[in-house]
Structure 1
Amino acid sequence: MLSVLKNRLEQGCRTSRYPKETVELPPRYRGRPEIDAQAPADLADACAAACPQAAIDASARTIDMGRCVFCGTCERVSEGRFVRFTQDYETAVAEKSQLVTRGELPDLAAHSRQHFKKLFGRSLQLRQVSAAGCNACEADLNVLATPFFDLARFGINFVASPRHADGIVVTGPVSRNMKTALMQTFEATPEPRVVIAVGSCTLSGGPFRGSPEITEGLDTLLPVDLFIPGCPPHPMTNLHALLSFFK
């Protein structure tokens, strides 16, 4: 017992003080993209042609974060003169149309469903469904339970049964084989319930977009309340989204 107490004193508190204090991510992190609307047309066309996800609309000068996997190809092609990725990890939105952007995003807290805040403000239980995901999004959701993030201190927890949950968090492109299981999990979750889509695969099909084996967007199956882009979204992106939308 004494050794445990000694170790605790030596380690100190490792939990982040977010949201009271801002968390700075490493410079190599790619967050919210910004588009230079004044960039030459040939540069915009080159970025659109190079994008593996067809996420860039050169004529409209926009990028679809729902499709984007944040690979940085467009930034390298344009040398940051057309697309530049910032370190801003607060990229979640309440409406799918808001994912198409030039860099500006609405305040998520202002667009959250206020009745959810009243219902779940002090306690939110979520059931995570991996619908054929690669485990990257799942891993960055699981890490929220570690001491640094400590999601439970905000009253938010992941539970084993959808019958004990207030909503579901879906990752993966929703393969044909997982569609039935996903729908049964949704139906088993009591109302009122929320649906959260995490990662580009869930938002748009990701790298598998165009395949007949997957669903191109969870919103084509279920009413999605919160969209969290990324491949995978950083744990801070997930944490910000949950706190802004529900707290």
Structure 2
Amino acid sequence: MPSSIVQFAVADKLINIGRVNSLWPLTFGIACCAIEMMATGCARFDMSRFGAEVFRPSPRQADLMIVAGTVTKKMMPGIKVLYDQMPEPKWVMALGNCAISGGPFSFEGQYSIVLGADKFLPVDIYIPGCPPRPEALLEGILQLENKISGWNRWKDPEAKA
């Protein structure tokens, strides 16, 4: 994160470009959306071109948590502990309808499902779908890159928006 007292614009820009080209997601999947997340890491979709193919086994090595699936109230404290163990800066993606709003498990009288990961985590990117396609996860990674660095990888930097 850039300092609020001293600004080093060129250095901050280079650091952010390095961050977006080496996002390290946490190996963490809860339900069926995790299958689509694993498929995104395969050769057909090639997450390595975005620098995000290295799924880390430890939260202390990861900077991106992809909440992929249904979050129960019993699992919520454990997920929060994993998030708290991640070093700063860190980002969170909610992958799938269950992680966004409880999905098909959101009905009157249900007592065990958390109705969205944003109830206990600061979610940066929402990726809808049940389950979302691997292309949607790649689009979410591009949106996160844009949010972190302020530039779009596929847009000409000289072009006026």
* TM bucket normalised to smaller: 0.7 to 0.9
1:160: which partner in 2? 57
**Structure 1 vs Structure 2: percent identity of aligned residues?**
35
Q: Distance in 2 between matches of 1:160 and 1:140?
A: 18
> Is 1:237 matched up with 2:136?
yes
Cα distance in structure 1, aligned partners of 2:120 and 2:82: 13
Separation in 1, partners of 2:34, 2:88: 24
1:132-181 residue CA offsets vs partner (Å, 9 max, x unmatched): x2x2x111110112111111122112211111001200022211221121
Which residue of structure 1 lines up, in the alignment, with residue 7 of structure 2? none
Give the superposition deviation at 1:117: 4.8
- The answer as to whether partners of 1:128 and 1:170 remain within 8 angstroms in 2 is no
Structure 2 residue runs without a partner (length 5+): 1-12, 146-152, 154-161
Identify the match of residue 105 of structure 2 among 186, 205, 208.
Answer: 208
Larger Rg: 1
- In the alignment, is the contact (CA less than 8 A) between 1:117 and 1:245 conserved in 2? no
Distance 1:237 1:203 in 2: 14
Distance change in 2, residues 1:129/1:202 (3 Å)? same
Report if the CA contact (8 A) 1:162-1:185 is conserved: yes
Q: Distance in 1 between matches of 2:84 and 2:50?
A: 26
Does the Cα contact within 8 Å between 1:151 and 1:239 map onto a contact in 2? yes
Distance in 2, matches of 1:227 and 1:196, equals 6
Q: Judging changes above 3 Å, is the alpha-carbon distance between structure 1 residues 232 and 153 closer, same or farther for their aligned structure 2 residues?
A: same
Say what the alpha-carbon RMSD is for the aligned residues.
2.1
TM score, norm. by length of structure 2 = 0.74
Within 2, Cα distance between the matches of 1:161 and 1:224?
20
Q: Closer, same or farther in 2 for the Cα pair 1:117/1:230, shift >3 Å?
A: farther
1:241 Cα deviation after fit: 1.6
Following TM superposition, the consecutive aligned residue runs of length 4 or more in structure 1 with deviations greater than 3 angstroms are: 116-119
Q: How many residues align?
A: 131
Alignment of 1:129-208 (within 5 A): 129-131=28-30, 133=31, 135=32, 137-157=33-53, 158-208=55-105
Q: Identify the range of structure 1 (116-125 vs 141-150) with the bigger mean alpha-carbon deviation.
A: 116-125
Q: Report the Cα distance in structure 2 between the residues aligned to 1:130 and 1:122, rounded to whole angstroms.
A: 22
Aligned counterparts of 2:21 and 2:69: Cα–Cα separation in 1: 28
CA distance in 1, matches of 2:64, 2:44: 24
- Whether the 8 Å CA contact 1:127–1:169 is kept in 2: the answer is yes
